Amino acid sequence: MNHMYSAHKALIFYVALLVFIAPGSQGLVHCAQNIDSDTCRECHYDSMFGQSFDTSAHGTNSCSSCHKDITDLKLHMSGTQRPAPVDCGACHSEIAGQFLENFHYLQEDFRCVDCHQDIHTRIKETVNLKKRTIEGCTRCHGNAEYVSSGHAEGVLKGNLDSAACGDCHGLHDTKVYHASLEEYPDEARMFYNTRCKHCHTDEAMMKRNNLSARTVDYYEETYHGKVQGVGYSTLVAGCADCHRTHNILPKTDPRSSIHPDNLVENCGRCHTGFHKRFVTYKAHPNYRDRENYPSLFWTFVFMASLLIVTFLFFWIHTALWWRKSYWEKHARERDGVLPEICSAQKTEHEHVERFSTAERIMHLLLISSFFTLVATGFPLKYYYAPWAKVFISFWGGVQMAGLYHRIAAFVLIVLFAYTAWRCFRFIFPKGVGISGWKERLFSPDSLFPRWKDWEDIKGMFLWFFDKGEKPRFDRWTYWEKFDFWAVFWGMFAIGGSGILLWKPEWSSYIVPGWVLNIATVVHSEEALLAALFIFTVHFFNTHFVPDKFPMDRLIFTGTYSIQELKHEKPLQYERLMEQQKLEALKRRHPGIPLKLISAIIGLSSLLLGLTLAALFIFVLVFS
């Protein structure tokens, strides 16, 4: 009955209006320029344009504020002047700017009303916005996997901390690559990583949901996270690669991509040819968590203790040595006893060989390979440092840096193998057999520790505190022996872990995946120990001792004077004289070209090493 009455009323209104706006009537222009919402509702009388519109988010607007192109009622009612798409950007300019780059606009030619179909009745929502977003998106994206699992499941159950479609993909700024990790790998991976980190680093939100806010930090401490940190996200897995698409479920759920039963398939998307125990690798390991990661925890404790004990002893040793040497040098300067090494005997200025040509070449190869390893490896260790990307760019990217790192490692391994062979030949000379091997092992020419080294350590500390004379050393001092044996430990720790990490898929046939987490900690911490020890302790022992400063060229020239031999290695000098072997060791005085080359290489190495040490210490202290 009401519908019939409304229809008759509308018919009468149309007839009257047609008569009123007959051609030539002056009322036409006046009416067309003053169209109000009540006039519109004479025809558009549905509830959508009535009470529901008045209480909507746009209820304070008039019809003509959006439909500005309706200027002539006669043309509009005859169907000639039809309403054009509303320009929502007139009011929502910021959103309109974002939408111009939206996937739906660029690829699907969507307009605002395609999503906001209830524009005349839409109520401004804050509490249930996430739920309404899911409902809106699933009108087209009927993704049962998303709605029934993970984030959306949490939203629908009332957890507003859980992510809705717009939290991950954006609403009006949905990117073109939002649905394709394969087609836009770099942009998509970094986009989703950023979105994931936005929530999962929120401490308050994570605490409310009984999750750790450090999960992102743990990920960034892995190889995957570090490579992404220096700007090469396409080479490693990001958040959405392992936590597949919408399947964001805990690992205890059989549907989850990270459930133990699904890991082989999941990891196999990037890695191939691995043993199934490869998947025991921990993607977010917390080496501070003793309960859940005991092996990793104790590995870290051991490596941290090794660093602390080593540097505590040798930095104190270095400081005391510098103090004692500098004070003694000052006393000699004060008393006019200069130069420090002088002799009226011409023979004492003759040079004797300390290092052979082969040993000097080995040291040059060691220097170049060691610096290459440091300069290619530490930018990943400290990926967050401002200089990390600069170093990686210098090598031509993270892949090339990795290639140079492995080449340098191979050189170092060859040097180590050759050194081990020389040691074996020293103990078991060709044609001698095994007789007398103990005497050679513990002889003064051997680098193997013996009781005198312990006596020399005690003597040095007594000398540091003015309680005795400086010990009289033989061919090898205790700190030189420590340097030598540290290489053996370092090659076992750094070399062994590095080989495992080089091809983790192959390594899985030898060790389970979780061992790779341990190898990462060992490789990283032992590298720090080696680098800082060389750049601080070793540099001081060989170059920065006050009577050698600024550099000792011995390792480059291979020779030093007999007077220097008597001063630094008095027991060796006496043995050589007693055995009548000194004459055979005499060499020509190094020429100027050799001295200049030695100075250039030595000083450049010192400057580079000290610069790197300063960068590492700065990161350790201030990051």
* Predicted confidence (pLDDT) per residue in 68-95, tens digit: 888 888 888 887 878 878 888 888 888 8
Which CATH number is correct for 294-622, 1.10.569.10, 3.90.1150.10, 3.30.70.20, 1.20.950.20? Answer: 1.20.950.20
Q: Residue 525's closest CA among 309, 366, 372?
A: 309
Residue 351 predicted with pLDDT over 90: yes
Residue 24: pLDDT band by 50, 70, 90 thresholds? very low
Give CA–CA dist 499/561, Å, rounded: 43
**Tokens 């984030």 — which residue?**
151
SS3 of 296-314: the string is HHHHHHHHHHHHHHHHHHH
**Tokens 């052979």 — which residue?**
356
Residue 27 predicted with pLDDT over 70: no
What is the residue-wise DSSP string for 531-587?
A: HHIIIIIIHIIIIISTTTTT---HHHH-EEEHHHHHHH-HHHHHHHHHHT-TGGGEE
Give CA–CA dist 550/553, Å, rounded: 10
Give the residue, 178 or 501, on which the prediction is more confident: 501
pLDDT tens-digit profile of 276-318?
999 999 999 999 899 999 999 999 999 999 999 999 999 999 9
DSSP state of 59: T
Give the residue, 3 or 255, on which the prediction is more confident: 255
Return the pLDDT at 295.
95
Are the beta carbons of 559 and 353 closer than 8 angstroms?
A: yes
343-352, 391-400, 539-548, range with the lowest pLDDT: 343-352
The amino acid that residue 103 corresponds to is: F
What's the rounded mean pLDDT across residues 192-216?
91
Element (H, E) at 214: none
Residue 338 predicted with pLDDT over 80: no
Return the pLDDT at 87.
85
Give CA–CA dist 169/191, Å, rounded: 9
Return the pLDDT at 135.
83
Give CA–CA dist 275/515, Å, rounded: 13
The amino acid that residue 521 corresponds to is: V
Are the beta carbons of 394 and 239 closer than 8 angstroms?
A: no
What is the residue-wise DSSP string for 419-472?
A: HHHHHHHHHS-TTTTTTTHHHHHTSTT--S--HHHHHHHHHHHHHHTTSSPPPP
Distance separating the N- and C-terminal Cα atoms of the chain: 78
Give the residue, 383 or 349, on which the prediction is more confident: 383
Give the residue, 62 or 223, on which the prediction is more confident: 223
Residue 342: pLDDT band by 50, 70, 90 thresholds? low
Residue 330 predicted with pLDDT over 60: yes
Return the pLDDT at 126.
66
Token reading at 161: 């901390």
CA atoms within 13 A of residue 293's CA, in its CB half-sphere: 21
Residue 1: pLDDT band by 50, 70, 90 thresholds? very low
Would you list the domain boundaries of the chain? 2-84, 182-270, 294-622
Dihedral sign, Cα of residue 487, residue 488, residue 494, residue 498? positive
Return the pLDDT at 431.
78
What's the rounded mean pLDDT across residues 113-138?
82
Residue 204 predicted with pLDDT over 60: yes
Give CA–CA dist 510/504, Å, rounded: 10
Are the beta carbons of 398 and 230 closer than 8 angstroms?
A: yes
Residue 49 predicted with pLDDT over 80: no
pLDDT tens-digit profile of 242-273?
887 777 888 888 888 899 999 999 999 899 99
Token reading at 240: 């959405």
pLDDT tens-digit profile of 420-458?
999 999 999 987 877 889 999 999 999 999 999 999 999
Spell out the residues 6+ positions from residue 252 whose beta carbon is closer than 8 angstroms to its own: 259
Return the pLDDT at 470.
94
Decide: helix, strand or coil at residue 586. Answer: strand
Decide: helix, strand or coil at residue 561. Answer: strand
Residue 507 predicted with pLDDT over 50: yes
Across all residues in the chain, what is the average pLDDT?
Answer: 86
**Tokens 């260790």 — which residue?**
381
139-143, 308-312, 451-455, 565-569, range with the lowest pLDDT: 139-143
183-197, 396-410, 463-477, range with the lowest pLDDT: 183-197
**Tokens 């350790």 — which residue?**
620
Are the beta carbons of 110 and 137 closer than 8 angstroms?
A: no
- The CA distances from residue 267 to 105, 218, 235, 449, in Å, are 35, 19, 14, 48
Residue 464: pLDDT band by 50, 70, 90 thresholds? very high
Decide: helix, strand or coil at residue 351. Answer: strand
